[in-house]
Amino acid sequence: MVTVPVFVGLDYHTVSVQVCVLDSGGEMLANRSVANDSEAIGQLVHDHGNKVYAAVEACNGSADLADELIQRFGWSVDLAHAGYVARIKQNPDKTDYSDARLVADLERVGYLPKVWLAPEEVRELRRLVRYRQQLAKERRDVKLRIGALLREQRLSSPTTCTKWTVAWLKWLEETKELSVQGRWIVDQQLRRLRELDLSLRTVEARLSQVTADDPQVQALMAMRGVGLITAVTIRAEIGRFDRFRTGKQLSRFCGLSPRNASSGQRQADAGMIKAGNPQLRTVIIEAAHRLMRHDPHYRAMGQRLRQHGKPGSVVAAAVANRWMRSLYHIMIPYGKGRPATETAPIAGPGSC
């Protein structure tokens, strides 16, 4: 067995993995497909060296493989940003052979566009959080279908009750103004809505249970305007605050930073940058609205921006940006699971 370092690029697929092995000079030692199994990958690579620096593009399942290779063989494994790797390639042709070679070469020369490899407990939390997001989206779609059917049949709800309240749902269940088929469809949709409500309560109870001992989640929930859903979403998608160098970098990761569109003498903004997890950005914006209602500091900030003629969406984004940048400094002591020395702000009403 050779003790010189080797650089490995992995092109991940469900059944197989293309494995490219390069030496420190860039010479190809191997490039072939093996079964999607850590033992098969390890056997191929260890035929050429045992000091392994590997990389794999981030995709569904690749993080679990990377973690397994780290735990089993002690390799250094990086996750690569698939979009940036594709732009670096600048080649319309795509093969597993060339993709694995490119990833291995980028790892070798130190130009690999890396993304964070979240630990297993964070990946598990992400699965739960994203499952809840799927349920919430399905519930929203059911409500939209019911609303579309009522508009199609020109049926107006009574002005005495607010839409989707208990009283409104009771009216919808009892109204005789729907057609025969419309009545049947609404009954099916209401039944599905009740099932989704129950499923959401179940997954939220599980989220509360699995994060009961998580210091970051508990610290976030102690803050004004932050409840369970906001806290677990931030925890799952951000993971560790100390992996960012500044609050500005964190805010940019969350997709809350303004995007510059300046050229020559023209200076302009083009809204927020299109980056980060959309659901993460959504819950932070919603938290910003609650902060402007319940926190004097952010309420004053929102009022100042409105006095300068800023629309509500811009105001909420600005408050969210400022909050995340300050949250970075509050949450840094929790980065490795240690309790913070600073007391978190007191929780207030309207938390979600």
The reported pLDDT for the residue numbered 344 is: 39
- Closest residue by Cα to residue 226 from 317, 155, 323: 323
Quick one: tokens of 48?
């050429």
Q: Which residues contact 88 (CB under 8 A, 6 or more apart)?
A: 102, 106, 111, 113
Amino acid identity of residue 317, one-letter, is A
Radius of gyration of the chain measured on its C-alpha atoms: 25
Residue pair 231/224 in contact by the 8 Å Cβ criterion:
no
How far apart are alpha carbons 345 and 329 in whole angstroms?
13
Whole-prediction pTM? 0.84
- Closest residue by Cα to residue 89 from 117, 68, 112, 72: 112
- Closest residue by Cα to residue 272 from 252, 247, 250: 252
The reported pLDDT for the residue numbered 16 is: 95
- Closest residue by Cα to residue 249 from 273, 228, 217, 215: 273
Task: Print burial letters for 301-310: b (CB count within 10 Å at least 16), e (below 16).
Answer: bbeebeeeee
The reported pLDDT for the residue numbered 270 is: 66
- Closest residue by Cα to residue 190 from 143, 138, 158: 143
Does domain 5-115 fall under CATH 3.50.50.60? My reply is: no
Quick one: tokens of 79?
């996750």
The reported pLDDT for the residue numbered 172 is: 93
Mean pLDDT by 10 residues, the chain (352 residues): 82 95 94 95 92 94 93 94 88 89 95 92 95 97 96 87 91 92 96 97 96 94 92 94 92 86 68 81 94 92 92 92 94 63 39 58
DSSP 14-25: SSEEEEEEE-TT
The reported pLDDT for the residue numbered 268 is: 63
The reported pLDDT for the residue numbered 196 is: 97
